[in-house]
Structure 1
């Protein structure tokens, strides 16, 4: 018996190393729009953030021909994290396959899209930022469940990259991934969130999230009281995921991520402050694309905040030198840190 188009897609996904593959009708995304609006009503302070994501709630406005969503999950909890960046830079950014063409995952994504088109399907995707709400699409497709920290979990825990394509095919194929619920009364993810961005199960204030403030936000970090609770975080945050019992032993560290050991050497705190614009643009920015080629300064204010929160004598001179920076943001951050630590020139 010949395989259906849906079965062929799943078979190809398995061949390419995807852990999960599901296909849902475009109408299954309506619930995402409802949850999106509900979140803004619950957290009015989050409205500016969510407005920037609103395109994900209305795929038919941008792609009126879309009839289904193919959504896939690729586990990434297999990579070794170098000691220089462990606990300082979030694992999802260190092993980000969305822009690194040297990874097998990136090549698998290209081949998957090519295969969909070979099947005669019209497709639309956005490898970096998505064309739909990815976690909702994966939930609807049966790839996993959303836990109290708001992350989508598969059998590999939350350490999975999600991607999706809109297609013009009338298709549906859902998985039946059965996973245990969160432990009763567990609040470990909430307790691990130092800024209280995760204030209740399934509730998060994006603008108070360390990941947001060290990437998209925090452009005036020296004025942000919450920065004092960032701990060791320089770029992104894994605290609520690391604390989750359902992630225990899910990170295996069996492979080296292409180029990561070399990049990690440049991402020690002191070396970030020494980075030149050319080195940043060539070696760092393409990998950490949430900050633009002109935003090396943002990395440097994040590091100055890290030095403030994890101060040792070796940080004194770099902080004082940064007080004389020609960049207003770096200078203001360094001066704020110097005053808080009462460092004398």
Structure 2
């Protein structure tokens, strides 16, 4: 490891990252083959994965870039409000990628500034990233990808991945000290409510509950996996919660900024009655996989959960939704009334 690479890695660890590695940009070359394999296994996923192919042309898109700095940060340390467990996936509740109030976000900015102070050109995208994050982290030897497709370190899969392109060729690669999945284990696949995980290391995003409840699923009434969504309003933790390698890894020792206050505004009933200003100005910046023009989806998803696990107390809220200002919500509420025979 060069002195410069050592400085970068030390700075990352000092700022709270669990791990940091550096790979040459050419190390991503095998990513296209992985994508092609995924599409071949699940042909209906081709449209979903189309956007991922942008990562196969990094050297053309960023001709100045020479290496990738990839960091791992643990988020499985935050307190999760009990009533939101099984309703909103934990990752999204403590997502720091765009949350400027979060120390995780602030440390990410400090780390980037540090690299720039070293004279490097360092660029990132604090959303879905400029590089294939899990693939890059695996190439850097920071951990492994398990059968459920999530990236794991010794602390399990409750980790963020941050990556920067830099304009100097450096390398800092580790050997992962993580036990691989047992050949006999299929607990993540058994736990997947929609059988999106049909085989190890294979995922059908069209069937994935997390995908459907966030950036997909715009026609919930006719959604093939509507019932399999169960009680999830946003995201899904099923395959990660079932994984033995995550057992006892999450320890709620810290509070994520503003999460407790926000959680007091969230329940199935409260979502139905949320005004659109609150959805657009408070919920959307926090849960940004649903864009501003689609915040009505929160109400549709909540109604779907009410139907999947109906309780008498939901009736008045479903009836209330029949007068919502958005036609998608009204349509879903009217469908629920007929489905549940609430007339």
Give the alignment's TM-score, normalised by structure 1: 0.97
- Give distance in 2, aligned partners of 1:113 and 1:119: 10
- Give distance in 1, aligned partners of 2:55 and 2:317: 42
The secondary structure found in structure 1 opposite 2:123 is: strand
- Is 2:296–2:328's contact at 8 Å kept on the other side of the alignment? yes
- Give distance in 1, aligned partners of 2:131 and 2:32: 10
Deviates more, 1:272-281 or 1:257-266: 272-281
Partner of 1:330: 329
Count residues in correspondence: 343
Distance apart, 1:3 and its partner CA: 6.4
Structure 2: unaligned runs, 5 residues or longer = none
Partner of 2:18: 19
Q: Which contiguous aligned blocks of 4+ residues in structure 1 show a shift greater than 4 angstroms?
A: none
Give the alignment's TM-score, normalised by structure 2: 0.97
Partner of 2:78: 79
Whether 1:208 aligns to 2:207 is: yes
- Is 2:2–2:170's contact at 8 Å kept on the other side of the alignment? no
Partner of 1:155: 154
Residue deviations 1:162-202 (CA, integer Å, cap 9, x gap) = 01011111111012221111123100000000111111000
Structure 1: unaligned runs, 5 residues or longer = none
Partner of 1:143: 142
- Give distance in 2, aligned partners of 1:332 and 1:195: 24
The secondary structure found in structure 2 opposite 1:266 is: coil
Distance apart, 1:284 and its partner CA: 1.3
What is the correspondence of 1:176-215 to structure 2 with a 5 Å cutoff?
176-215=175-214
- Is 1:148–1:189's contact at 8 Å kept on the other side of the alignment? yes
Partner of 2:27: 28
The secondary structure found in structure 1 opposite 2:29 is: helix
- Give distance in 2, aligned partners of 1:180 and 1:88: 30
Partner of 1:65: 64
- Give distance in 2, aligned partners of 1:15 and 1:54: 34
Partner of 2:46: 47
- Give distance in 1, aligned partners of 2:97 and 2:233: 21
Residue deviations 1:87-135 (CA, integer Å, cap 9, x gap) = 1000110000001111111011001111111111112211111001100
The secondary structure found in structure 1 opposite 2:262 is: helix
- Is 2:88–2:233's contact at 8 Å kept on the other side of the alignment? yes
Deviates more, 1:330-339 or 1:24-33: 330-339
How large is the RMSD of aligned CA atoms in angstroms? Answer: 1.3
Residue deviations 1:230-266 (CA, integer Å, cap 9, x gap) = 1211100000000000000010011111000111111
- Give distance in 2, aligned partners of 1:316 and 1:89: 22
Partner of 2:287: 288
- Is 1:211–1:236's contact at 8 Å kept on the other side of the alignment? yes
Partner of 1:310: 309
- Is 1:21–1:175's contact at 8 Å kept on the other side of the alignment? no
Cα pair distance change 1:36/1:66, threshold 3 Å: same
- Give distance in 2, aligned partners of 1:273 and 1:234: 12
